[in-house]
């Protein structure tokens, strides 16, 4: 028999027994909604916020969890799985997209921060029938093996070329007063945020050289 607490509430034993029963039900997947709600009661509930964002030229009105990254929103909410999740920590570049024309790691930015922004993913650069010049150059130069890093490489390359055209220097730029030639060393430095575990780097550099001339 349950013993009341000093304040008249349920005893510690009753709480532990009911918690254990809820845990067992939840673990077996047999918990009814009320029990699942009780199980989840300790978790913070998502806060949804309206966000209007243009993705690949299409206006999208979303209700986003304020904790959701742009990467997860693209992949899980919009079904744009071309943008890859590698490290989810800003270290590999697999998730690179263009935000208002600038490259960014989609795993490092929250979707809620992009109200009014324009996002371009690999799906928005070209189509199988009408490839972006950089996509065509990657195919021509065999700039990939498994292909997992490739969408991020291509988006990053497109953004990098725009940065170069705008006169942005890099850590490899020796003379900050002269026009920067896009040498192999410049391409390698400017693409250093995009890792390729298949080590297709020489072909990636060749592809970017050609894609940049198109
Ligand atoms: S998944 Fe974003 S940098 Fe690796
Ligand atoms: S092609 Fe496999 S990780 Fe780059």
Band (pLDDT 50/70/90 cuts) for residue 211 is: confident
Q: What per-residue confidence (pLDDT) applies to 25?
A: 39
Q: What per-residue confidence (pLDDT) applies to 214?
A: 67
Domain that residue 75 falls in? 48-125
Band (pLDDT 50/70/90 cuts) for residue 105 is: very high
Pocket test for ligand 2, best of 85, 87, 91, 148 (most atoms within 8 A of CB): 148
DSSP string spanning 161-202?
A: HHHHHTT---TT-S-TTSPPP--HHHHHHHTTTS--TT--HH
Q: Is the CB of 197 under 6 A from ligand 2?
A: yes
Task: Indicate whether 168 pLDDT > 70.
Answer: yes
In a 3-state reduction of DSSP, which class is residue 1?
A: coil
The number of folded domains in the chain is 3
Q: What per-residue confidence (pLDDT) applies to 23?
A: 41
* Residue 109 covered by a domain: yes
* Residue 63 covered by a domain: yes
CATH of the domain at 186: 1.10.150.120
Show which of 90, 125, 160 is a domain's final residue. Answer: 125
Pocket test for ligand 1, best of 90, 122, 151, 193 (most atoms within 8 A of CB): 90
| Of residues 27 and 132, more confidently modeled | 132
**151 alpha carbon – ligand 2 mean position (Å):** 10
Task: Indicate whether 80 pLDDT > 80.
Answer: yes
Band (pLDDT 50/70/90 cuts) for residue 42 is: confident
* Residue 6 covered by a domain: no
Dihedral sign, Cα of residue 56, residue 96, residue 46, residue 24? positive
**155 alpha carbon – ligand 1 mean position (Å):** 13
The half-sphere exposure of 111 on its side-chain side, counting CA atoms within 13 A, is 28
* Residue 114 covered by a domain: yes
53 and 38, same structural domain? Answer: no
- What residues does ligand 1 touch, defined as CB less than 6 Å away? 85-88, 90-95, 105, 107
Band (pLDDT 50/70/90 cuts) for residue 39 is: low
| Of residues 84 and 9, more confidently modeled | 84
Tokens 């919009």 sit at which residue? 78
- What DSSP state is assigned to residue 112? G
Residue 199 Ramachandran class (φ > 0 left, ψ -120 to 50 alpha, else beta): left
**116 alpha carbon – ligand 1 mean position (Å):** 23
For 3-32, how does the pLDDT look when each residue is reduced to its tens digit (9 = 90+)?
Answer: 333 444 445 444 344 444 434 434 444 444
**83 alpha carbon – ligand 1 mean position (Å):** 10
């Amino acid at each position: 028999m349950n013993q009341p607490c000093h304040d008249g509430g349920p005893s510690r034993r009753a709480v532990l027994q009911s918690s254990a029963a809820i845990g067992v039900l939840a673990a077996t997947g047999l918990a009814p909604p009320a029990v699942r709600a009780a199980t989840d009661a300790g978790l913070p509930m998502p806060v949804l916020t309206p966000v209007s964002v243009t993705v690949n030229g299409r206006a999208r009105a979303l209700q986003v969890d304020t904790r959701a990254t742009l990467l997860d929103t693209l992949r899980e909410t919009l079904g744009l799985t071309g943008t890859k999740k590698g490290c989810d920590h800003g270290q590999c570049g697999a998730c690179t997209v263009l935000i208002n024309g600038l490259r960014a790691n989609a795993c490092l930015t929250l979707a809620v921060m992009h109200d009014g922004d324009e996002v371009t993913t690999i799906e928005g650069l070209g189509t199988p029938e009408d490839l972006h010049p950089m996509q065509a150059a990657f195919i021509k130069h065999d700039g990939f093996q498994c292909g997992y890093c490739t969408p991020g490489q291509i988006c990053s390359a497109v953004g990098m070329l725009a940065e170069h055209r705008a006169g942005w220097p890099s850590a490899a730029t020796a003379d900050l007063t002269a026009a920067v030639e896009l040498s192999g060393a410049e391409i390698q430095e400017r693409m250093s945020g995009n890792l390729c575990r298949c080590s297709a780097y020489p072909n990636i550099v060749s592809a970017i050289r050609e894609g940049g001339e198109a």
